[in-house]
Structure 1
Amino acid sequence: MTKITFLLCLLALIVVATAFRRNVMQHREKRDAVLIRSKRRWVLSTIDIEENMEGPFPFKVTQMFNDKDTEHKIKFLIKGEGVTIEPFGLFTMDTITGDVFIHRAVDREVKQVYHLDFDVLDWNTGDVVDKTLSFNVEIHDKNDNPPKFSVSTVHGVFPENAKDGTVLATLQAHDNDLQNTPNSKFNMTLASQEPALPKIVLQTLTSSTSLYQLSLKGCFDYDKAKNYKVLVTAQDQGTPSLTSTATVTLDIGDSNTHPPIFTAAKYNTEVMEMEFNKEILRLGVTDKDTPNTPASRAVFTILKGNEGANYKIETDPKTNEGVLYVIKGKNFEKTEITVLEISVKNEEKLFKCVDGRPVTDFNPPPNTVKVEVKVIDVNDPPVFKKDVEFIYRPENTSPGDLLFTPEVKDEDTDVANIRYELVSETDPAKWVTVDPKSGKITTVKKMDRESTHVINDTYTVVIHAIDDGVPQGRGTCTVVIYLGDLNDNAPYLLTKTAVLCGNTVDRVNLETADIDKPPFAGPFSFSLMEEKELKDLWKFDPTTGHSTSLISLKRLPHGNYSIPLKIQDQQGLAAEEVFNVVVCDCEGENVCRGRQGWSSRLDSLGIGLIFTGILLLALLLLCCLRCENRNKTFQLIPLNLQDEGNQTLIKYNEEGGGSVNKPEPFTAGNAGGMKIALAPAEHMIDGFRKSERGSVRSPIRYSSKRFYEVYNDGDVMSIPHHSRSMVRTNTVRSGVSQLSRSYSSRSDKNLADHIDRRLFGLPEDLSDYPESLPCQYECEGNESDCESLAVSQLTDSNLGDNLDFLQDLGPKFNTLGGICQQSMTSKNVRL
């Protein structure tokens, strides 16, 4: 029992010890594994490359190691800048050995650091067996860049009189090698200067070592050197040291270092007395400075002798000479010789350099010369007291008015020998005359202020005073005559016609003017002439002013109206005008509807068209008359004209149309078929035809010879009647029934009574038809020399269709008969 227990305890102790050891071993394995990955995962060499290495290439720069090669067969992989990122192909790696190669030289100034990544892969599976290692490849600097000037060539232009210390050029350089190392630090030095004088120095501008200036020490001398060349060197402190150069060229401009000098020690000239605005002398100078520059251009000044301002001197820009002019005449009686002192200097201030330094207060006296001007005596012209005289006169003064008497003096001639002339061009209106001896100006005509020759109320004339010297002297005086205004012009209308648009306005405007000046002009007073009819139709509003409106008091018929009116100026001077107004309806502004312009007129073509229209109208009326009478049958009655020397054709009114009321045929004896309507004298009351009922039918004019209507088959014609009895024989259609002259007065009366009963006994409903009534026509006139057409003069042989009797009616009726027969023949009308 005890042994079993002991064995069990021992077994339990062994199990516990085994488990503890297993835990310890697992913990140690984990700890060892951690230490191996963090410390011995990669074995690296430092990668450090110098720029611009000479090779040969490819050049091994390092080798990579990894302890996973004990557990796996591995291979290496590289990526990053220079491999998979630009610049491509710079680095490569042996996948088996881990050797890293560079294939070409690199420039640090292009890129200073390259970033690379390395991986280790299982050779068989290609799986990554370790973490990626990243590191930088740094490029070491090498002194391969010399200092470089920002501008390698500098050009400058400076005047000869540049001051000491003037900055001539500024130079700046830069080194691309690693900053703050000897490879990038440099110094500038002045390597050479041509010519050597004046000295030019180089110094830093600020504390920076990259900015330098060239400065002048001394004075330039244009006569010795016109150009300078300076060479500046920049050198760094690297090993080996590198340098670069810059060239500065300077052009020197000439300054005024030489004063101008007159070419002669003294000058002489002469001028005619009272001569002016004329060149009298040229003064030459010499100057050693560059021509046509401020350093050489001369400036002349008259220092003495010109107190009267008679002369002036100017510089000729082409020749650089001094040109002396006389600008005001010199009188010989006062001065015979004038001495002028003239100086000359340059436009630019004179410059001087003493002991290599410019003198700032250098101001030497200018070069001077004397000029003697001799005045030669000549004839002096007369001189008026005033060159311009002003005179005032009212307009319209009477001729003979003395306007002006001149005052003249002459140094050389007696005033009595001076004659006067009027410059005719200055007297276009021919208003004045000049006395040749006294010079008095007198009017010969009335001077009108409103004349076109008067400008701004002034009339100007010019007179000359001429002496008897040799050559003749001539003085001039201008006389300005101011003309005062008088009320000698009545006001007037600017426009005397107007259009009154009756459909839009009731007034027209009147504009007035007066060529007189105030107070002889407006405002004006307006009034109508003393006619009551005008004042009932028109009025002015306002009645005073410079313009007014003419107002229509009532609506006027269309037409032209002439309105007399009166216009008075402020002083009462009146003018009577006629204002024409056209009253019409307007379509536009002051344009009558359907009305032509004022300038339209009837030409020859229009007159021809009017006459053509009249002829066409007459022809149309004739055609209407012929058409109306086409179906009527006329009985031509031969006339026995005893006295052909005093015959007259008289036009009567046109016959009326046929009656709509056809009375029954009247038969008396053998008169069947003939219808006769007579109006006896007893049925005429005060010149009017009366019916049986006493009503007035139609007015009639009659005399001792009356006319009656005869109806033949409905047609009407007029014949004369001398008594109550019927005196005419008509042929009826049968041609056998006749009324003869043997009828007694009783039978005539019965026949007339029967006709009256038949005519005036019509029914009430037909009594008012004018077609049924007799019509009166124009009479032949009282006491006609022509015998009436009586039935007694007509025979049966003249009636019928035979018209041969027309050939025996006489020369005048033959013409009328021929015209009628020709017209009827052309229209195929048979009688």
Structure 2
Amino acid sequence: MAPAAPCLVLGLLVLSLCCEACKKVIFHVPSELEADTLVGRVDLKECLQYAEFISSSDGNFKVLEDGSVYTTSPLSLSAEKKTFTILLKDIQEQVEKKIHVDLVKEEKKVQSDTAQNYTIYYSASGPGIDQDPKGLFYIERETGNIFATRAVDREQYPSFQIICFATTPDGYSPEVPLVHTIRIEDDNDNAPYFTQDLFEFCVPENSRPGVVVGKVIAEDRDEPYTLHTTLKYRIVSQTPPITPAFSLHGDTGVISVLLPQLDRELVPSYTLLVEVRDMAGQPFGLCTTGTVVIKIEDTNDNAPSFKQLQYETRVEENRVSVEILRVSVVDLDEPGSPGSGAVYEIIRGNDDQAFEITTDKNTNEGILCVVKGLDYETAKQRVLVIGVNNEAPYVLAPHSQQLSQSTCSVTVHVLDVDEGPVFKPCLLRLDVKECEDIGTAIGRYVAEDPETGNSEGIRYRIPPGQCNWINIDDKSGEVRTVRVLDRDIGEMRRGQCNVTVLAIDRNGKTGTGTIQVCIVPGNKNFPRIIQTDYIMCRDRKPICLTAQDDDEAPYSAPFVYRITDRNLASMWKLTPHDDNSWYLSPKSDIPYGIYEIPVSVIDNGGKIGENTVRVNLCDCVTPTECDGRTRQLTGGNVTLGLWAILAMILGSLLLLLILITICGCCGAGVMHRQVTDDCANHNLIISNTEAPGEEVMDHNIIPLQSTCDQGGYGVKTGEQQTFEMVKGRGHTLESVKGGGHQTLGSVKEGGQQPMMDTCRYSYSEWHNFTHPRLGEKVHLCRQDEEQKHSEDYLLSYNYEGKGSLAGSVGCCSDQHEEEALDFLDQLEPKFRTLAETCIKR
């Protein structure tokens, strides 16, 4: 069974387009067509892109812009086919094209090709037949024609898909079942409708033309993208019926401002009756109307103005925080909005800030108040100029002039009132020097009668319960002290106190004033030296004396120091250091001892503080050695501490070791003694005793006369030093650690090659070489790494044994040149002290 062409039942059409544009279009239609029935749709743009003129050669048909073809009147197709032409013209391009349209009667049946050979019965199944909605269609058993039993709503059932069967009487099916689709074409049976019953929009007044107000929206339940749902909008009417104020876009439904000037004060709102019509607005299209309300929003385009330009009012003098007048304005802007809210200000006449004006939010009135008491004697009336603005800034309407501020004048009459005395000034500051005598006059405080302008008949008194440092004369107002003002006592600790004073006139009227008593710092304290006990060692480093004064400037620093004892002033001197401190130092080589020096300190105000400075001039290196005692050197008696004696002994041993080493260098090539291996261990003599040594005949220290050869020992003084004897032509004394690699020969020769084997050096050469080293070593012998006194720094080293590389150190006894000891006559005091220690008592 060949598939039949899709059919339309009860006026439903099937559109068929020819594939060749601008030649022929075929529409399959029923034989009977009613007026305004859609025949089909032609794609006009395939034939001509822009058609300015569209027409039909047959008056029974009309062609719309989208290519839809409608009947204009009822039509019956008597013949199998009817033909007409659609004419398209583009006048600007001078182009004209034609489209031929053929209307062909549609076939309404399903037919099998095997019907020529068999007796065929037709049947169908599916929605609309034996499924919901059941019974909508039926198929004629013998012919295959499909009929509708009632009207079909496309919006409910846009299409039906049924299965058609062709069978012989005995049930044989010569054809495969055919799936057949029945599409329900849309009929414009639904009018468009607005999505809201009422559209409400707002737009500011004075908006420019073209400003978008809002958009109305409508919908249509007919088939989308057809003329049945192509909607057009328009404004039917406007209320109030004045010049049209808005425009409505026909395709989009957008409402815009049309009137150049919208004035809320003239028309606060507009009501528009709008229409929407389908069929692209064609007269035969279905339509619906809706309502749009557009409210005009207020802008501040109207300035407030005073209802009255001049006002008068009265107020008693000295009244404060009292309302004296209310002023009102007229504003055409919307009440209660920022555009009508009044803001008042006093433009002139309020230089002393005695008046204040505010706005009553409920009535929009200006409230004028007095905030400072007025004086009738000063001014009997005041004239104020008041201006008004709005809370919101002004917005000028188009083609309008600049707005000007509205003003009014207010005359305030001041009423006279009998007043009490008035102090001028109301607060009097009196500065009083600290420690002034009782009864000192410090000032005068009087009041005046405002009516008379003088002080006659006024009495003064200080109420009880206040600062009782001063009193006031009841007639003259003179203020005197009744106590010595001291910044360190009671309420004066803050440097001031306030006293309330009463002034009473003949009528008993009272006025009050305040005296502020401020204490100016005075010179009541003596300067004093903070520390008065000191220890000065042999370096005689100056002592820094520092004074302190509890007074404030200018009665404190800078200080001047003086030694008041003439004898001590010849021995000690004072030199300035800064404003607070001076240096105290001895003038000459005065003897050791305890000195009590009277020192006077004079402050900047001339006040003198007497002090006694006790200085312990001690023969020490550090103040801790004195331990509160004084070291004195008198005649030939020397008193030394344990550590000083030990330091001197160690220094002498170090000096002797150097001498022995030099002597060994000189005679190493001449003499060489053989001793036992253990002899060296017995040549390190213990010398840590305070007893004097053996009696010597000469005041010089004699070098050791004998020692063991091949011995090895050393002295460790903070930093280890090794003295090495080198045999050969250049005998040198070399310091391995400390001070670099320097030899005695290099000292003598000024840094040149070591001198040849003479072994003779002058005292100055020895002094330059040994003095800096011995001084450092003697000092380090007395201290450990933490600058504390060491316990024992004289250490024995192990015996070197046989084969020592050192030469003989016993050769010094072979040196008999007396002139080599001349340097001992020029030893410094340190070593003279060592010599005296060795003298037999």
Between structure 1 and structure 2, the one with the greater Rg is: 1
Could you state the TM-score of these two structures normalised by the residue count of structure 1? 0.43
